[in-house]
Structure 1
Amino acid sequence: MGNAKSSAMSKEILEDLTLSTKFTEQELSQWYENFQKQCPTGRITPSEFEAIYSRFFPESEAKSYAHHVFRSFDTNDDGTLDFKEYIVALHMTSTGKMSRKLEWAFSLFDLDKNGYITKAEVSEICHALFKLIPAKERSRLPEDENTAEKRANKLWSYFNKAAGGRLTEAEFIKGIVENEDALHLIQYQPQE
């Protein structure tokens, strides 16, 4: 009888997620049940993740940004997201502390996972982020932010680095925290 519920979340994962997120056991159990329904294999593939992301941004081209977000969430680099990776990512991006969100943002920008961010990496992520902005919203952007390249240049300028320089995680977080305008350049919030 001990294995009657084989699709239930393991007690170890439940305890770990309860300690590492702000979600309750009941919330985690509900998330798990929904995850199992949506992903019967117990894993989310990049294409499934892109499809999910595209539903959140129906008027945008979300594929390239979703690719980068997926890469940053796939902490064990196995090409899929399991439930634990999914929940930790959900927690970090929705209810986590600002410092944790900025740590995640650093991992998003650190394309090659070498512990540094270059201007080229900033540019690539800014291009992916810019594609999330619907055309009607792009026309209302300030002159110095109305293209992906301008946004990347503006963001890079907040870090006081030469074009060939590179940023550590601490420098990235400090640059964002010390410049209020920088925060909106590393994320997209749909206008209502």
Structure 2
Amino acid sequence: MGNATGTTLEELKACESHEWYRKFMTECPSGLLTFYEFKKFFGLKNLSEPSDAYVKTMFSTFDMNDDGFIDFMEYVAALSLVLKGEVQQKLRWYFKLYDVDGSGCIDREELLLIVKSIRAINGLHHEMSAEDFTNMVFDKIDINGDGELSYEEFMEGIQNDKMLLKTLTESLDLSHIVQNIQGDMQGKA
């Protein structure tokens, strides 16, 4: 399986999957992660009400079969998306996540709430305020000016504006939380 020059990609992936499984089963011996355990798992505590609502939405998007739990396969799919997903996949996930009310469109209030919540969770400083960021997104990609972003407007607008794509990805990125988990796993190994 290995070779003389080092570890193969398959071995690295297997090792990473083993670590994810070990971490998952250590934190969640039942094999099913509840919302409370999800927050604990990611170190998300003392959240504001909007941030907690955002985390609930994130939990729901990861709970692909809507059974109220995240099993190991859903967990791996979520981690893979956050860490290794293609731009299209991440944008589809972002859209689903930002459409808090499930209307099929994202309005200014939904995007502003999500941006503020993610920033509160991340604890990172941003040059642009959440309000200015939200206004910039709508100014650039709300083509018909109706105050809502349809799926098509969102996908096309962000993919066609490299600066906006970069800003959105950086400001709404959750991979540092996952990397913290990976760091914890490596520290315990």
TM-score by length of 2: 0.68
Q: Secondary structure at the match of 1:117?
A: strand
Q: Does 1:116 align with 2:105?
A: yes
Could you say if the C-alpha distance between residues 32 and 42 of structure 1 is closer, same or farther in structure 2, counting changes exceeding 3 Å?
Answer: same
* Offset of residue 131 of structure 1: 1.7
Percent identity for Structure 1 against Structure 2: 29
* Offset of residue 90 of structure 1: 0.6
Unaligned runs of 5+ in 1: 1-22
TM-score by length of 1: 0.67
Could you say if the C-alpha distance between residues 132 and 30 of structure 1 is closer, same or farther in structure 2, counting changes exceeding 3 Å?
Answer: closer
Quick check: which one's helix share is greater? 2
Q: Please, what is the CA RMSD of the aligned residues?
A: 3.0
CA contact (8 A) 2:119 2:172 kept: no
* Offset of residue 47 of structure 1: 1.9
Unaligned runs of 5+ in 2: 1-11, 177-189
Residue in structure 1 matched with residue 90 of structure 2 by the alignment: 101
Residue in structure 1 matched with residue 27 of structure 2 by the alignment: 38
Could you say if the C-alpha distance between residues 129 and 97 of structure 1 is closer, same or farther in structure 2, counting changes exceeding 3 Å?
Answer: same
After TM superposition, what 4+ stretches of structure 1 lie above 6 angstroms from structure 2?
none
Superposition map of 1:62-81 within 5 A: 63-81=52-70
* Offset of residue 78 of structure 1: 2.2
Q: Does 1:50 align with 2:60?
A: no
CA deviation profile, 1:131-188 (whole Å, cap 9, x unmatched)? 23537x24xx1xxx22x222211222221342533412x3212211122232323514
The one of the two structures with greater contact order (alpha-carbon pairs below 8 A, sep at least 6) is 2
Aligned residues: 158
CA contact (8 A) 1:109 1:122 kept: yes
Determine the C-alpha separation between the residues in 2 that align with 1:163 and 1:122.
15
